[in-house]
Structure 1
């Protein structure tokens, strides 16, 4: 697969992730473009937060469902499923972080990757 085609697919995957977040009312959705940053293995990080453990889990589940519908793919790796504090879904080219509000404030992932281009999205 050509590099351009792969970038188009990873961008489409990131957009599907954003849609999954918007459907379940994720807050402060951002997409960090990691392609120009040295020593990163993913093209994008997509991040949002929610006010309750139940909503965090619902957002993560919806993202998985939407990605499966669009691409027939499951996450390569998952962390935090069920606890509702911070769920990570690793789709290799796109890494998804769904936080509970106070955990996002504590870890400040966007600040760690301050060199990334950031695109913000509205909740649906």
Structure 2
């Protein structure tokens, strides 16, 4: 599974827990940190934890991947899962606005994830 497929799978896992404003940003041309970043929103500590767990579970079962490290899952204001070539950020609204990762990575190629729940 290549890094783009891994990012898509992570975005699907975020969507499974009704994350908001899911974005995939390809950063391999502008950074050596990773190839892709997925940014998603959650409205509460519980939802942020659920989204992070969904990503971990889906990538473990479908890609046989575990995060190299994770941060912030217990506090759940901002959770970070680092898979090497993919970094997943799940943030509550205040943290997402404050850190504004989308602007920070604005030179990367952006792709918005289309939620399956929008048509329901």
TM range (shorter): over 0.9
Q: Give the equivalent residue in structure 1 for 2:88.
A: 96
Instruction: Mark the runs of 5 or more structure 2 residues left unpaired by the alignment.
Output: none
The secondary structure found in structure 2 opposite 1:66 is helix
Please identify which structure carries the higher helix content.
1
How far the C-alpha of 1:114 sits from its partner, in A, is 1.2
Q: Give the equivalent residue in structure 2 for 1:4.
A: none
Q: Count the aligned residue pairs.
A: 116
TM-score normalised per structure 2: 0.92
How far the C-alpha of 1:12 sits from its partner, in A, is 1.1
Q: Give the equivalent residue in structure 1 for 2:56.
A: 64
Instruction: Mark the runs of 5 or more structure 1 residues left unpaired by the alignment.
Output: 1-7
Q: CA RMSD in A?
A: 1.1
TM-score normalised per structure 1: 0.89
Q: Give the equivalent residue in structure 2 for 1:119.
A: 111
Q: Deviations over 1:2-47 (max 9, x none)?
A: xxxxxx611111011000001000000000011211x422000000
Structure 1 residue ranges, 4+ long, deviating more than 4 angstroms after superposition: none
